[in-house]
Amino acid sequence: MMSLGELVYNSRKNKNITQEELAELSKVNLRTIQRIENNENKPRESTLRMLFEVLEIKDPISEFNQITVKRNYGELVSEYFFLLIINMSLMGIIGWMTLDSEANLNTRFAGLLLSFFIPIFIVFMTKSMTKIERLLKFGSGFLIYIVSSIILVGFPTAFVTGLLVCLSISLLTLFYGDMMVNRKNAA
């Protein structure tokens, strides 16, 4: 199976245009085209659409879905490490704002607001992800935190402080947030 870089390179050569000409015609950065042709990155769908339009590649969606960009283990490890850091940060922020012994009503209310606004921002930035994929990548820390907080501090304390409510709102927003974002865009 042909890689994305090979497809773009071969199509460009068949049209007898240089990378610079392709960049100018497609309004895509020259360095981005070079990275795509060398299989160094996974371009956005919008970038591929612009390139495929200039290169006259038919049915860009099916071409895009059939092509697999080769990823090395370093990219995978760094991606999952980054997701781990994000999950730990989100858990820490909401936990600090609700479970802290000095947390007052204002702090807990701020935790409640953040438990909605941070996940809706994640939904807005990851529109192409499915609900389940988003929930697994960004909500797994919340799920672990719910279980561990019930075990460590007990259900009554976790509920009264607002931690369980905030974590539940975060999970529901990650899962159902795309409906809110899509309604906003449709209006």
Which pLDDT score is estimated for 113? 92
Sheet strands (E) in the chain: none
Q: What is the pLDDT of residues 94-144, one digit of tens each?
A: 888 888 878 888 988 998 999 999 999 998 888 878 889 888 888 888 888
Report how far apart, in Å, the C-alpha atoms of 24 and of each of 21, 27, 38, 165 are. Answer: 5, 5, 19, 51
The structure tokens 């497609």 sit at: 26
Domains and CATH numbers, the chain: 4-66 (1.10.260.40), 73-186 (no CATH)
pTM equals: 0.57
The residues, any chain, with a CB within 8 Å of residue 37's CB and separated by 6 or more, are 5, 8, 9, 12, 19
